[in-house]
Chain A
Amino acid sequence: MPVFALVDCNNFYASCEKLFNPQLKDKPVVVLSNNDGCVVARSAEVKALGIPMGVPWFKIQQDARRYGIVAFSSNYALYADMSNRVVEILSSFSCNIEVYSIDECFLELSGFARWGFPTYGQVIRQRIADWLGLAVCVGIAPTKTLAKLANHCAKKELAGHNGVCDVTAMTPDQLSSLFEQIAVGEVWGVGRKITARLEAMGIHTVRQLRDANAETLRNRFSVVLERTVRELRGLSCLDLEEVVPDRQQIMSSRSFGTLVHDLADLEEAVASYVSRAAEKLRAQDALAGAIQVYIRTNIFKPEAPQYQQAMTVPLPEASSDTRVLANWALRALRRIYRAGYGYHKAGITLLEIVPRTNQQFSLFVPSQRESSRDDRLMATLDAINGRYGRGALRLAAEGVAKTWQMRRGNLSPRYTTDWDGVATVAAV
């Protein structure tokens, strides 16, 4: 029987900010989304104030002033590095690990039963606290869905001890009474819409969902929900996804820091997004057969004139060459661009992605990839950017000033990924 642990970092982004900045100790800290729009992470102090996740920052200005809430722009370089460190440490506790998100990992632990799972969970917790200064909670269970739920129990102190909750050690009676206290919406994969429909059927708690008729749920909802029910009963239906499947689509899009009116600025932005996406495409050794471009005005300002448009261009021949992809993307952009609007967001999506080895050559167009010179140029581009930092070498079309870039008003230094961002210590 498999045993899964879900290890989840507590208040991850906010904790990373606090880790290097002693002045934030015991202070309420929030981290804001791109362009400093919404609250995407909250420290324990902010949660205690009852400020909800996702609330727009401008709406809580009064609370922010009253309680001295400190807001940071998202410092993804810092969070990604700390996340990689967490994963590296967890990899020494099990060879079977799924990185589920930037702050969550599943581990397969069945081989470690001899130590007792709660003890093992405590060792993991202690190791990450000692080595990285980050707090995690651990949920341990025979299925991934239950491990998620156990983690929730550990975090909310509904069950378990000291941040570790092991449901494999609980009796059926204990489990039933625990699941009675938890709302059905807390179950992994049960979103807001499904919750509302379940509640209409009289299913309010996790216990009720677990004991509901699985076939009925499959007929009324989906096989996915049926699987969730089976997982709640302790029957493992979901395996670890240790290998990230190659992406079928690669998207790159951003909201702009300020509204963009000129085609030239939009062109720079789109070329930059293509460049980023093409780099990812080449990293998985694949080619794209089509590219989609879209632009839109600010839908949150309905009083301003609104326009949005997208265009998909099938390429004559699949490619991973930044220059080829950018060329087609820019042609599409010029077709959909309308002057007189303030654009808030643009994006591109690479579609029809195939492995390079499966390439279908065009019958009508003389192959543009007869020589490997283009491939070598792209490999060199990636190598230079890998060494000197993203965007060190780029298409002229991407521009230099990038006035359209994201607004990140209060960005903390890249403490762990940039020599200029290294924190100072006072020798006084």
Chain B
Amino acid sequence: MPDLSFSLAGQAGVFIPLPGAPRLPLPLDEVRVSAGFPSPAADYTDKRLDINEYLVRNPVSTFFFSVEGDSMQGAEIFDGDILVVDKSIRPRHGQIVIAFVDGQRLVKRLYQRAGRVALMAENPAYPPLEIRDGMELLIWGVVTGKFKRLEA
């Protein structure tokens, strides 16, 4: 299957908005007119920060996974972290990915160079997992962020 989404985008005059395109909601600042002094901040109303907006680029294709284990410490991914995984991103060499290998769900860094495909840990205690002929590998999605709640 050739990459049709690109060939379509190349045609002039046609525009399909992506579901994940940035949205521009209008600010909720229906300031009431009242007698007395107007608020000096009325012209500067901003939307409050939204963590979804910060972490999730394309909500429709974004899924969450939680981490068990310490093999990705070097990439600052720790046990108990929740990963933000965007399935719409095409996996490339060097990205951190969710991979399904032989019935297991793994988080690894994808190595894809010179015919060698491997899943790398970010902790010297774990050797690379070489993907050889006959092994089943599915790159499920690309990790684009992480978060964790702390006891307080």
A interface with B by C-beta (< 8 Å):
22-23, 25, 85, 88-89, 91-93, 114-115, 119, 122-123, 126-127, 130-133, 162, 415-416, 419, 422-428
Contact = CB atoms under 8 A, between A and B. Distances in A.
Interface stretch (B10-18, B29-37, B38-46): B10-18
A427 to B, nearest CB: 3
Nearest to B101: A22
A131 B60 CA distance: 8
A132 B61 CA distance: 6
21 contacts: A89-B19, A115-B8, A119-B8, A122-B4, A123-B4, A123-B5, A132-B60, A132-B61, A133-B140, A422-B65, A422-B82, A423-B65, A423-B66, A425-B98, A426-B104, A426-B105, A427-B67, A427-B72, A427-B77, A427-B107, A428-B121
Interface of B: 1, 4-5, 8, 11, 14, 16-19, 58, 60-61, 63-72, 77, 79, 82-83, 87-88, 90, 98, 100-107, 121, 126, 136, 138, 140
Nearest to B11: A115
Contacts of B18: 92
Nearest to B81: A427
B107 to A, nearest CB: 4
B64 A422 contact: yes
A284 B53 CA distance: 31
Given A25-B136, A93-B16, 6 more contacts: A85-B60, A122-B4, A123-B4, A426-B104, A427-B121, A428-B126
Among B4, B5, B58, B138, the most chain A Cβ lie within 10 Å of the Cβ of B4
Contacts of A23: 103
A423 B105 CA distance: 9
Nearest to A86: B60
Contacts of B71: 427-428
B5 A425 contact: no
Given A89-B60, A115-B8, A25 B65 contact: no
A428 to B, nearest CB: 5
B79 A427 contact: yes
Nearest to A22: B100
